[in-house]
Amino acid sequence: MTPPSRPPRRPSITIGGREIAAGTRETVEIPVADLYTNAALTMSVQVIHGRRPGPTLFVTAAIHGDELNGVEIIRRTLGQRALSHMAGTLIAVPIVNVHGVLRLSRYLPDRRDLNRSFPGSSEGSVAGRLAHVVVEEIVAKADYGIDLHTAAVHRANLPQIRADLSDDTTRAMAEAFGCPLLIDASLREGSLREYAHKKGVPLLLYEAGEALRFDEFSIRAGVRGITQVLRHLGMLNVRRRGSKPAQRPTVALDSNWERAPESGFLRSLVNLGEHVTKGQPLAWLSEPFGEAEAAVRSEHAGIVIGRTMLPLAHAGDAVYHVARVKGAQAVADRVEAFQSDHEPDEADLTGDTDDEPPIV
């Protein structure tokens, strides 16, 4: 009797010139533009190439060098033991813009925005060369992607997914991620999301937290979201014991920034995730003596998804970002529940769990 034949071994994957065999996990250093001092600089990429066949997902962070939440999200994601039994391949790049992180800057040394430089060129500017490396070594090897971002400096964002929701595959990924609010965002020329769209690689953009700060809520929500997308794609098949299924998210109808009507000191009244009504004061502006005050009011009912963190504003500065949604109060209640689900519990605080202790 002829013994049954073994299934063929899954082919290796090549990243940065290194061949990574199925069933292994390796960190690859990909050269990027060197420093002025002639010191070599590399972009670190960790690849988990599962034994079992499945899709390839890339996760990137710090495309803007001051957006650091994603670095911690990827670190925690890679620490999950379930990944040792993962099907398919996970390509994780915690720091794309190495130059920017070194300088605590959103931009590259040439003052270009990396997320407006795709697909780049091997003979272009520093931004163009780095974009080209990401395109050739990461996006070209993947079937799906998740790009992690925060708000700009001195602003904070409520955890949200921005994506092309007209694409069924992308929308299903966005719903699996589990944020209560989705934004059907237009593609921006030169962005990683636009390039991935052109190449047929569905990509989610996760926005949460503030530049140059770690935010525990945003980090926990990001780790859980990536894990849920891995399950959705069939790369992980074990649901965490006691975890709750994600609620169906709401898609924002539109959004706008409410701006300061005049310059002054800002006293903010509402926080991220709160429901606001049309005409409601979001903040008060006053000059130092307090003899004259002006309100920053919401133009429509909705949910606060972004805000300034500075108590100072010039006339015309964007102060609050309000998304218009159907059933705003109900959405705000779901946001509150979402925040509660991601608060550390007693086991987290005492170390009686496999989860990371909360950052304070």
Across residues 30-45, what is the average pLDDT? 92
Q: What pTM was estimated for this model as a whole?
A: 0.93
- Tell me the C-alpha to C-alpha distance, in Å, between residue 93 and each of 46, 104, 198, 228: 7, 18, 21, 19
* pLDDT given for residue 350 in this prediction: 47
Give CA 294 to chain center in angstroms. Answer: 35
* pLDDT given for residue 159 in this prediction: 96
Q: Is the pLDDT of residue 173 over 90?
A: yes
Task: Tell which CATH architecture fits domain 254-324.
Answer: Beta Barrel (2.40)
* pLDDT given for residue 290 in this prediction: 84
DSSP-H helix ranges across the chain: 69-78, 98-103, 126-137, 168-177, 192-198, 216-232, 328-341, 346-350
Q: So where are the chain's domains?
A: 13-250, 254-324
Span 51-62, pLDDT tens digits: 999 999 999 999
Give the pLDDT band of residue 234 (cuts 50, 70, 90): very high
* pLDDT given for residue 2 in this prediction: 62
- 13-250 sits in which CATH class? alpha beta
Which DSSP state fits 3? P
Span 52-94, pLDDT tens digits: 999 999 999 999 999 999 999 999 999 999 999 999 999 999 9
Q: Is the pLDDT of residue 349 over 80?
A: no
Span 104-156, pLDDT tens digits: 999 999 899 999 999 999 999 999 999 999 999 999 999 999 999 999 999 99
Percent of the chain with pLDDT strictly greater than 90: 81
- Tell me the C-alpha to C-alpha distance, in Å, between residue 3 and each of 6, 8, 115, 155: 9, 15, 54, 64
Across residues 219-244, what is the average pLDDT? 86
